[in-house]
Structure 1
Amino acid sequence: MRPGTLARLPGPPELTVDPDCAICHLPPNANCGCEANAMVAAVKEAESRVMKPEYRKVREWARHRAQDYVLQYFGLLSERRKQDYRARVAELTDNARRYYGALPHPSDMRAAHEQLRRGINEDWKASVTRYPEVLDYFFSLVKVRYPSDSDPRVRDPPLSAMNGIVRRSGR
């Protein structure tokens, strides 16, 4: 050591103290799992409080749009069926007038009507069975945005105990 300089004495060793479990008070080496279970429960509760209303809104939004789409799709298909039916009835009527000078036979009209009914049922089934595909599409349009980790609201949330500590420490 040079004259006029103070020797640095070693300070106390750095202490590392792990806290006991905040729930059951067992020592840290007991690995009780209470705190992990409490965190899982807290996440579920927060999710229920915050996200359930949002899930409900998204579900209703997607459901309404899917329902509207399926009904429009069915309307398009069924209108084509009705046009085919009207054309068939016109053909039956023209043929009956031309060849017999009368109205079409009731059994021919019933057959045309039954064909329309079967077709409408097929169109409805084709429309309704598209719900999974249509719902997937509308749900896929919903986007959840997260703020970046550098966002001040994430770095220094206004949760009283630490409010402003991050700003003051310059982290």
Structure 2
Amino acid sequence: MDAAPNCAICNAPAYPECPCESERLQIAVKQAEKRAMDARLDEIRDWVISHARQHILNAFERLTSSRKQAHATYLSSLPNYAIYMQYSGHPPIHPAYIAQLQAQISEAHAELKRGIDADWRASVLRYPEVLDYFYGLVSLRLPDERSPRVLEPPFAVAGYMDKGYGKEHKKKKRRDSSAAPDRMYSAVAERLRGPPSAPTPPIQSSGYRPPMYGY
């Protein structure tokens, strides 16, 4: 007697191996990950972005602060700059000196703008490094393998029987029975409503593959 169960999805023989169970498992894993992780990932992402952005802004502010200070020092060193500022750009000096000073001031402002743009670019280009750093501070850990919650989950304590999923699960199945059933699961449902369970026969040492439920 071949003790290997047929495919739980389409009821095809176990050999050659049917891909249905593997495909449905991948779908179930993705769905479980979405339910378990989406909210937590959103929280982590928001935290990382907030701290990374603040770090980039702080770094940019430090760079521009030094640059602006150097710019102010340079302007103060220009001949006639003090009197030029005292008279709001119309000092009582020769127009040639005023034109020369205005050209120097204009070039200094342009240089400052180029420097600020370079500082901002340098700061923004550090985002990958900064994001990696803050993501690295997030702690994710697996539960202890010896934890009772790992060794004896509720469905294991219930003996992996259908009743382990609770009465509410069965009531919901009855309420939903009027809806069109998923064709891929209809064969499984028929099998589960089949003959009463019998004592388990001896399991052959080769070819055995445990059934996969819970999709």
Report the TM-score range of the alignment, normalised by the length of the smaller protein. 0.7 to 0.9
TM-score by structure 2 length? 0.63
User: Which one of the candidate residues 136, 152, 155 is aligned to 1:156?
Assistant: 152
Q: Is the 8 A contact 2:56 2:127 kept in 1?
A: yes
Q: Is the 8 A contact 1:156 1:164 kept in 2?
A: no
Structure-2 separation of matches of 1:149 and 1:27 = 35
| Residues 126-168 of structure 1: per-residue CA shift (max 9 Å, x gap) | 1111111101111111121111111111001123xx2266xxx
Structure-2 separation of matches of 1:63 and 1:29 = 50
User: Which one of the candidate residues 77, 89, 96 is aligned to 2:80?
Assistant: 96
Q: Is the 8 A contact 1:81 1:119 kept in 2?
A: yes
Specify the code of the residue in structure 1 equivalent to 2:128: P
Pair 1:39-2:35 in alignment: no
CA RMSD of aligned residues (A): 2.3
Q: Which residue of 1 aligns with 2:36?
A: 50
- 5+ unaligned residues in a row in structure 2: which ranges? 83-91, 160-215
In percent, how many aligned pairs have the same letter? 38
Within-5 A mapping of 1:104-115:
105-115=101-111
Stretches of 4+ aligned residues off by more than 6 angstroms: none
SS at match of 1:38: helix
Aligned residue pairs, count: 147
Q: Which residue of 2 aligns with 1:12?
A: none
Q: Which residue of 1 aligns with 2:140?
A: 144
TM-score by structure 1 length? 0.79
Structure-2 separation of matches of 1:97 and 1:136 = 47
Specify the code of the residue in structure 1 equivalent to 2:150: V
CA pair 97-32 structure 1, distance change in 2 beyond 3 A:
closer
The structure with higher relative contact order (CA 8 Å, sep 6+) is: 2
SS at match of 1:145: coil
| Alpha-carbon distance, 1:30 to partner | 2.6
Structure-1 separation of matches of 2:53 and 2:152 = 43
Structure-2 separation of matches of 1:109 and 1:164 = 83
Pair 1:81-2:81 in alignment: no
| Residues 31-51 of structure 1: per-residue CA shift (max 9 Å, x gap) | 111111111100000111111
Q: Which residue of 2 aligns with 1:29?
A: 15
Q: Which residue of 2 aligns with 1:61?
A: 47
Specify the code of the residue in structure 2 equivalent to 1:123: D
| Alpha-carbon distance, 1:16 to partner | 6.3
Q: Is the 8 A contact 1:70 1:128 kept in 2?
A: yes
SS at match of 1:30: coil
